[in-house]
Amino acid sequence: MASTDFPHGHQYFAGAYHRGSGETITRINPATGEPLLEIDTASPEQVDAAVNAAATAFGPWSKLTPAERSGHLLALADEVEARAEQLAALETAQTGKSIRMSTEFDVPGTIDNVRFFAGAARNLQGLAAGDYLGNSTSMIRREPIGVIGSIAPWNYPLQMAAWKILPAIAAGNTIVLKPSEMTPGTSLLFAEAAHAAGLPDGVINIVVGTGPVVGEALVRHELVRMTSFTGSTAVGRHIMALAAESGTRVHLELGGKAPFVVFADADLNAAAHGAVAACTINGGQDCTAATRAYVHRSRFDEFVARVAELMEAMVVGDPTDPGTDMGALISQAHLDKVDSMVQAAVRDGAQVIAGGRREARPGNFYRPTLITAAAQDSAIVQDEVFGPVLTVLPFDEVDQALELANDTPYGLAASAWTKDLDLALRASAEIQAGCVWINEHIPIISDMPHGGYKASGMGKDMSQYSFDEYTNIKHVLISHDTATHRDWQDTVFRAR
């Protein structure tokens, strides 16, 4: 990706690109350590201009019929599809993720998401009208909220932009999105696709910059009616505190520390393949990644050996090579953090069975890592590493396994591996997480909700359930009582 890819600047609002008048950030190529591009960031005045563009667009956009909004989204899907190759190449360049991930996961997932919300836009549901009081009809209107301010992370920049933008605009809102300052490219290209598809100016706006400057200006803006945030738990809580100052709505998709529970009767080889894929997907920089395996003691050695064997065979390297399994981590600082957490665990007595080291080449490459003998209360088991690191601990009893699975502050996703239906149903009920996979780990589906319990956040992305975040529910009561003085008014004053 060259800086010339966005020759008119890294801000997109009111239907046009603008050069940011804030500071310039140099983005380093994660795969080489060389400078990749110069990103111009927005000034607070430009955030204000973007929010005002969204506010101006809100009236006409919210008044379109569902069929008209759906038509716009179908056209957008075609434009995104036409840019599939360009989007995949840009996603890999800016994140360092393997080109197979970008091509086979991020881009098709995004296109599917656009088409899903094109359909969902015509299916905003509420209660059927009913007579709940006598002599009256009550009905529900589901109405858009207004301007949504969204803030997204760097791990799946294109998909996160889509997850934020689509339910918001399908429901009739307009949006100002701040992608991560490290990975703005594919969000800007997504906006370009929307422009080409003929979406009205101001419906989608992108402002690029750092969290404290551009992010906070967005959350604090008086015309922003809701903040939708995906990122770390610490920043999410800060955003909630900022939004509390104006009492505006927040939707928070935060960190995760997904358990992966392997019961005694599990298909061991399937579980091992599942664990390696779910731990190393996107370099482990995935909020739902499998991070803590709990394996029945009778299968522990077998599981550890098979996972180690599969991890050792993984090809880590040039993300643009289709033969590469795992590309680079997002930044040198993040690589250092992942490695220092692994080394600290080792100092505390944990054992590295596979990986636990950088690749000896320029760029931010880390080997898939398998760790045993870590303490349940240690940082490597409790805290988000956000790298390709799996800890494995044994258990003896089902109760103990479920207790360990729930024993972190997070609750985003989890999996249980068993052929026993009772055990599967018990695990799915007792594990405190927004998603529990049985004999699977990772698939996320446009039609199904995604969102956390506990410190993993509140509210849902994707699916019809996301409309609960992005709409206001209004009760409308129409009286057909012909009496001048209604019975209930007697409580307040007698008829005269």
| Residues belonging to the active site | 253, 287
Beta strands in 286-362 (DSSP E): 290-296, 351-354
- The residue (of 174 and 282) whose beta carbon lies closer to ligand NAD is 282
- Closest distance to ligand NAD from the beta carbon of 92 (Å): 18
DSSP 273-284: HHHHHHHHGGGG
Q: Which of residues 308-327 bind ligand NAD (CB under 6 A)?
A: none
- The residue (of 157 and 319) whose beta carbon lies closer to ligand NAD is 157
CA distances from 108 to 81, 113, 272 (A): 8, 8, 26
DSSP 77-106: HHHHHHTHHHHHHHHHHHH---HHHIIIII
Contact call for residue 41 and ligand NAD (CB under 6 A): no
DSSP 390-414: EEEEEESSHHHHHHHHH-SSEESEE
- The residue (of 69 and 460) whose beta carbon lies closer to ligand NAD is 460
Contact call for residue 10 and ligand NAD (CB under 6 A): no
Q: Which of residues 398-427 bind ligand NAD (CB under 6 A)?
A: 412
6, 58, 116, 154: which one binds ligand NAD (CB under 6 A): 154
Nearest to 115 by CA among 146, 75, 74: 74
CA triple 316-322-328, angle to 5 deg: 35
40, 192, 339, 384: which one binds ligand NAD (CB under 6 A): 384
Contact call for residue 211 and ligand NAD (CB under 6 A): yes
Contact call for residue 93 and ligand NAD (CB under 6 A): no
403 contacts: CB under 8 Å, gap ≥ 6:
none
Question: Which residue, chain included where needed, has tokens 């957490």?
Answer: 341
Contact call for residue 238 and ligand NAD (CB under 6 A): yes
Distance CA 180, CA 10 (A): 12
Nearest residue to ligand NAD by CB is 211
Contact call for residue 230 and ligand NAD (CB under 6 A): yes
Ramachandran region, residue 286 (left: φ > 0; alpha: ψ -120 to 50; beta: rest): beta
- Ranges of H-type helices in 121-247: 157-170, 185-196, 216-220, 233-246
Distance CA 20, CA 32 (A): 27
167, 185, 215, 368: which one binds ligand NAD (CB under 6 A): 215
- The residue (of 179 and 319) whose beta carbon lies closer to ligand NAD is 179
Contact call for residue 255 and ligand NAD (CB under 6 A): yes
Q: Which of residues 268-297 bind ligand NAD (CB under 6 A)?
A: 287
**Near ligand NAD by CB under 6 A, which window of 78-86, 93-101, 119-127, 147-155?**
147-155
Question: Which residue, chain included where needed, has tokens 């190759």?
Answer: 85
Contact call for residue 331 and ligand NAD (CB under 6 A): no
- Closest distance to ligand NAD from the beta carbon of 118 (Å): 22
- The residue (of 295 and 390) whose beta carbon lies closer to ligand NAD is 390
- Closest distance to ligand NAD from the beta carbon of 183 (Å): 9
Q: Which residues bind ligand NAD (CB under 6 A)?
A: 151-155, 178, 180-181, 210-212, 215-216, 219, 230-232, 235, 238-239, 253-256, 287, 384, 386, 412, 452, 456-457
